[in-house]
Amino acid sequence: NAGVTQTPKFRILKIGQSMTLQCAQDMNHNYMYWYRQDPGMGLKLIYYSVGAGITDKGEVPNGYNVSRSTTEDFPLRLELAAPSQTSVYFCASKGGREIETQYFGPGTRLLVL
């Protein structure tokens, strides 16, 4: 199993540009999550999904959108990039026997200039 994969690893965006951060998992997990990590702030939940077709807002959803058309994929969309969205983004998933444990991808580092 590859676990949770994220692409790209690093991206520079100009203010106002849009992009999609990709996340995929091959563990057949129902739950998937997007977090952002800022220095000294820990991880903040952006959006999550409890299954295909079902998404919900987390703690810091403004400026982002998600979709979940399949169990495997959970892309995060930034429509109008702003400097405040410079961060490291982590995708996570959970499910199966260890329903309480989230497994994380390697992260996408985003710089908005």
Partner 1 sequence: AQSVTQLGSHVSVSEGALVLLRCNYSSSVPPYLFWYVQYPNQGLQLLLKYTSAATLVKGINGFEAEFKKSETSFHLTKPSAHMSDAAEYFCAVNDPTNNDMRFGAGTRLTVKP
Q: Of 33, 24, 30, 25, whose CA–CA distance to 56 is shortest?
A: 33
> 14 or 40: whose CB is closer to partner 1?
40
How far, in Å, are 50, 98, 99 from residue 75 at the CA level?
A: 14, 23, 22
**Binding pattern to partner 1, positions 37-76, x when CB under 8 A?**
---xxxxxx--x-x-----x--------------------
Smallest gap, in angstroms, from Cβ of residue 79 to partner 1? 24
How far, in Å, are 8, 11, 45, 83, 91 from residue 50 at the CA level?
A: 24, 28, 14, 30, 14
Smallest gap, in angstroms, from Cβ of residue 84 to partner 1? 18
- Do 24 and 36 contact (CB within 8 A), yes or no? no
* Residue 95 near partner 1 by CB under 8 A: no
Contact residues for partner 1, defined by CB under 8 A: 4, 31, 33, 35, 40-45, 48, 50, 56, 90, 92, 100-107
